[in-house]
Chain A
């Protein structure tokens, strides 16, 4: 209770600091020098400290299971392990918003510390725009979703955290994802500030690029963790389901990926300035849209938090106020640089522009698939849902030219290129890739020009990116790593899609089920009493056609608070493929429904995503080494 009070009041004081900041900043703007008044930094630091304090108070309330706090009561339980008590802090609407707020202030503080060489007014305006967002979050938190609401009489027991959220990957998924989402707020504020100060130039691009890469890095890792969780915990036997909430995290990612590329053009060639600004503003808008769609409960999915229409209206208005401010600044205050640089058709600039076109296409497909059902329901009162076929039909054909362009693009020169680097070796390599892909497909009895070319171009990109590592001057190491990771990712996803197999059957203890490539034997079933659930573990022996046998032990967990049955798949991961087995109760008899899947190259999907993301990190370390 003490901690709730402390947390609540430190939030209010932190909001007051936001208000104090405005006159201080106003005074400081009039002074002509290049150093920000140290008072401003102190105020931001104090604000950061207070919000951190408030967040720690919430964590402590969760650890102590202080059920006088409504948030704790709704989302925690005394029998929950300590680790999940702590992760429960951000596993709910109120706590996660508090975490977002903390990250917002942390980032602007870091921005102020690391941007000392940049113009003073630009930094101050970035701070101002960021504070508008921060104040919006404060009001949202305090008015509609106070994490420190008091309950009386104090309940003796809490309602518990949704059991499917009790998973290590998911415990760290939200904070990392928020780092990515909120990172884009700095991009947004500093773009607006740069417009007002007429500072949209290559120097600005060079500094902002770091922020773009940071948020892109966290977003990539965050999406991957969510995907790992879906694969292991939801037991649907896949890693991406085109669930609206997944799409919502993918949209800013696509936008940031496009931004990373276009901001390099701005940095190196002072081109595409307006386009870069549009992308910067869109990235954050898409992140905020994501927050709106998830938190307002418009979309129903695994991620839906307990919703309250008041919250939805608040975020909606806040979101559109931000969009209108951004539009106003962009259309009214922005004065594009009229100086035209010479630009040739065959150049790196063009290839990056092409990359951006593809990214925008992918983005619009995902956007339409996600938002169209909402619009349709409002306008035509018709309920539809958009499923994976829509995305695969629209996305995959465009993947082929995208992959092929990606092999050419990075090797072109700035300004003008005559494609001298295209030689017999590269063409030969392309033919080999196509042949190889034909052979692979024939091996499993599939054929078809389309899949042959698709796998062929994925293989080709893979070979090219590997070859790039052996070029003498390593100027673009981070790009090479990321592109290599991406090619590996595409290749693993495609092969995984083609080679996966699945068996679904109902089986009793002691029974054996034979299938084409082996057999499954259901040996026994054991019950265990755990801290907050009862665990039922089945033991299955599986022989494959090579005579190898493996044991898989899928589990059913019957949670006590709230009562809920979750099934934990058992997955044996190896270098080449995953064996995945999940079981479910069949009501009313002693049969269990099992699903056995072999999923090749699963681990490569995670590994290649890590490689893809680490390319961004290398960017920071490599500079230091040099």
Chain B
């Protein structure tokens, strides 16, 4: 009798653990430290991809607009996936999309744009990757939403999806 009680209580306990852990699985725990949001964008100099002209970020992010800074590369497969989202966004006049081409072969980068379309109003080159690192990117693609005062509103690590598209649109209002 005692053995039966013990076995039943052990089994009930095990089943309880199963359900708790099962529930825990569905809880999202992806956590991106949001230290970058709310900070001012770092000032940097970079060359433009299309005409090789030097430009300063303070000059570029100067208009009364919301900017989207997207770090990408032609060799980056996930960047291909998010290109569609960027193309959709590029139709929106209240946001300006700036690309930062990360450690890329420039010929491949131009091919990539010709092939998939150009959502960017300006493409800057980060040949050795230092600007991206300074911006706080630790993998690409990374996207920053920047307001007219050059304050970073939001950082998206990884591929932009429909959810992030909604979030960006809500920031534009």
Instruction: Give the interface of A toward B (CB within 8 A).
Output: 73, 155-157, 159, 292, 296-298, 300, 309, 312-313, 316, 320, 323-324, 327, 331, 374-375, 377-379, 558, 560, 562-565, 587-588
Identify B11's interface contact among A327, A560, A587, CB under 8 A. Answer: A327
**How far apart are A490's CB and chain B's nearest CB, in angstroms?**
33
Q: Out of A157, A377, A379, which one reaches B75, CB within 8 Å?
A: A157
Q: Which 3 A-B pairs have the closest CB atoms?
A: A331-B7, A562-B139, A312-B25
In the complex the two chains form, what is the Cα distance from A316 to B25 in whole Å? 9
Q: List 17 A-B contacts (CB under 8 A).
A: A73-B77, A155-B75, A292-B21, A296-B25, A298-B21, A298-B29, A309-B25, A313-B22, A331-B6, A375-B20, A378-B20, A379-B20, A560-B103, A560-B129, A562-B138, A564-B139, A565-B133
In the complex, which residues of chain A have a beta carbon less than 8 angstroms from the beta carbon of B27?
377-378
Do the beta carbons of A316 and B134 come within 8 Å of each other?
no
CB distance from A557 to the nearest CB of B (A): 12
Q: How far is the CB of B72 from chain A (nearest CB, A)?
A: 13
Interface size class of B (residues with CB under 8 A): 20 to 34
Interface contact B31-A300, CB-CB below 8 Å: yes
User: Across the interface, do B138 and A564 meet the contact criterion of CB distance under 8 Å?
Assistant: yes
CB distance from B59 to the nearest CB of A (A): 20
Q: Which residues of A have CB within 8 Å of B143? A: none
The distance in angstroms between the C-alpha atoms of A53 and B88, with both chains bound, is 47
Which of B22, B23, B129 lies in contact with A563, CB distance below 8 A?
B129
Distance A377 CA – B27 CA, assembled complex (angstroms) = 9
In the complex formed, the residue of B with least CB distance to A298 is B24
Q: Which residues of B contact A298 (CB under 8 A)?
A: 21, 24-25, 29
- Chain B residues contacting A377 (CB-CB under 8 Å) are 24, 27
User: How far, in angstroms, from A313 to B19 measured CA to CA in the complex?
Assistant: 11
Asked whether A563 and B25 contact (CB < 8 A) given A300-B31, A379-B20, the answer is no
Whether A323 touches B7, Cβ cut-off 8 Å, given contacts A155-B75, A156-B75, is no
Q: Given the complex of chains A and B, what is the CA–CA distance between A297 and B26 in angstroms?
A: 10
A300 to B129, alpha carbons, bound, how many Å?
Answer: 28
- Whether B138 lies near A563 (C-beta < 8 A) is yes
On whether A563 and B133 interact (CB within 8 A), knowing A300-B31, A312-B25, A327-B14, the answer reads: yes
Give the distance to chain A from B41, nearest Cβ to Cβ, in Å.
12
Question: Are B138 and A374 closer than 8 Å at their CB atoms?
Answer: no
Smallest CB gap from B19: residue in A: A378
Shortest CB distance B119–A (Å): 22
Distance between A66 CB and nearest chain B CB, rounded to angstroms: 15
- B68 shortest CB reach to chain A, Å: 20
A73 to B6 alpha-carbon distance, docked (Å)? 51
**Residues from chain A with Cβ under 8 Å of B14 in the complex:** 320, 323-324, 327
Add 6 more A-B contacts to A298-B25, A316-B18, A377-B27 (CB < 8 A).
A155-B75, A157-B75, A320-B14, A327-B11, A374-B20, A377-B24
| B106 is an interface residue with CB less than 8 A from chain A | no
* B137 CB–A CB distance under 8 Å: yes
Residue in contact with A320 in the complex, picked from B18, B102, B134, CB distance below 8 Å: B18
A559 to chain B minimum Cβ distance, whole angstroms, is 9
User: In the docked arrangement, what's the CA distance between A296 and B28, Å?
Assistant: 11
Are A558 and B25 closer than 8 Å at their CB atoms? no
A558 to B137, CA, bound (A): 12
A560 to B20 alpha-carbon distance, docked (Å): 41
Please state if B22 and A316 are interface contacts (CB–CB under 8 Å): yes
Residues of B55-91 whose CB lies within 8 A of A:
75, 77
Q: Does B10 contact A (CB under 8 A)?
A: yes
Contacts of A558 in B (CB 8 A): 129, 133
CB-nearest residue of chain B to A156 = B75
Name the interface residues of B1-20: CB closer than 8 Å to any CB of A. 3, 6-7, 10-11, 14, 18, 20
Determine the distance from Cα of A73 to Cα of B76 in the docked complex, in whole angstroms.
Answer: 11
Would A327 and B103 count as touching, CB distance under 8 A? no
A564 and B129 alpha carbons, distance in the complex (Å) = 10
Q: How far is the CA of A155 from the CA of B108 in the complex (A)?
A: 13
Q: Find residues 104-128 in chain B having any chain A CB closer than 8 Å to their own CB.
A: none
A563 touches B139 (CB 8 A): yes
| B7–A327 CB distance below 8 A | yes
CA distance A345 to B112 in the complex (A): 80
CA distance A79 to B14 in the complex (A): 48
A208 to B7, CA, bound (A): 26
Task: Kindly state whether residue B132 has any CB partner on chain A within 8 Å.
Answer: yes
Bound-complex Cα distance A65 to B26 (A):
35
Collect the chain A residues with CB atoms within 8 Å of residue B103's CB: 560, 563
Looking across the interface, which residue of chain A has its beta carbon closest to that of B108? A156
Roughly how many angstroms separate A404 CA and B134 CA in the complex, as a whole number?
Answer: 55
Interface pair A297/B29, CB less than 8 Å apart = yes
Are the CB atoms of A563 and B132 closer together than 8 Å?
yes
Q: With A and B bound together, what is the CA distance between A618 and B44 in angstroms?
A: 62
Does A327 contact B10, Cβ atoms closer than 8 Å? yes
Q: B27: nearest residue on chain A (CB-CB)? A: A377
Q: Who on chain A is nearest to B17 by CB? A: A320
Nearest chain-B residue to A313 (Cβ)?
A: B25
Q: Looking at the assembled complex, report how far the CB atom of A386 sits from the nearest CB atom of chain B, in whole angstroms.
A: 15
Residue of A with least CB distance to B29? A300
* Complex Cα spacing A565 to B31, Å: 20
A331: nearest residue on chain B (CB-CB)? B7
A560: B residues at CB distance < 8 A: 103, 129
Using CB atoms, name the residue of chain A closest to B142: A563
Chain B residues, Cβ within 8 Å of A159: 139
Instruction: Evaluate contact between A155 and B77: CB separation under 8 angstroms.
Output: yes
With A and B bound together, what is the CA distance between A323 and B77 in angstroms? 41
- List of A residues within 8 angstroms of B25 by Cβ: 296, 298, 309, 312-313, 316
Q: Kindly provide the distance from the CB of B159 to the nearest chain A CB, expressed in whole angstroms.
A: 13
Q: Closest approach, in angstroms, between the C-beta of B36 and any C-beta of chain A?
A: 11
Min Cβ gap A318→B in Å is 12
Chain A neighbourhood of B31, CB < 8 A: 300
| Whole-angstrom distance between the Cβ of A140 and the nearest chain B Cβ | 15
Q: How long is the Cα–Cα vector from A270 to B94 in the complex, in angstroms? A: 81
Q: CA A377 – CA B132 in complex, angstroms?
A: 36
Contacts of A565 in B (CB 8 A): 133, 138
Closest residue of A by beta carbon distance from B133: A563
Can you name the residue of chain B whose Cβ is closest to the Cβ of A561? B103
A425 to B95, CA, bound (A): 84
Cβ–Cβ < 8 Å partners of A155 in chain B? 75, 77
Q: In the bound complex, how far is the Cα of B23 from the Cα of A156, in angstroms?
A: 40
A316 to B15, CA, bound (A): 12
Smallest Cβ distance from A371 to chain B, in angstroms?
9
Does the CB pair A587–B133 fall under 8 Å? no
Give CA–CA (A320, B19) in the complex, Å. Answer: 11
Q: In the bound complex, what is the Cα–Cα distance between A377 and B129 (angstroms)?
A: 39
Q: Which residues of the partner chain B approach A327 to less than 8 Å between Cβ atoms?
A: 7, 10-11, 14
Chain B residues in 8 Å Cβ range of A156: 75
Instruction: Judge whether B138 and A316 touch: CB under 8 Å.
Output: no
**Which B residues are in CB contact (< 8 Å) with A292?**
21
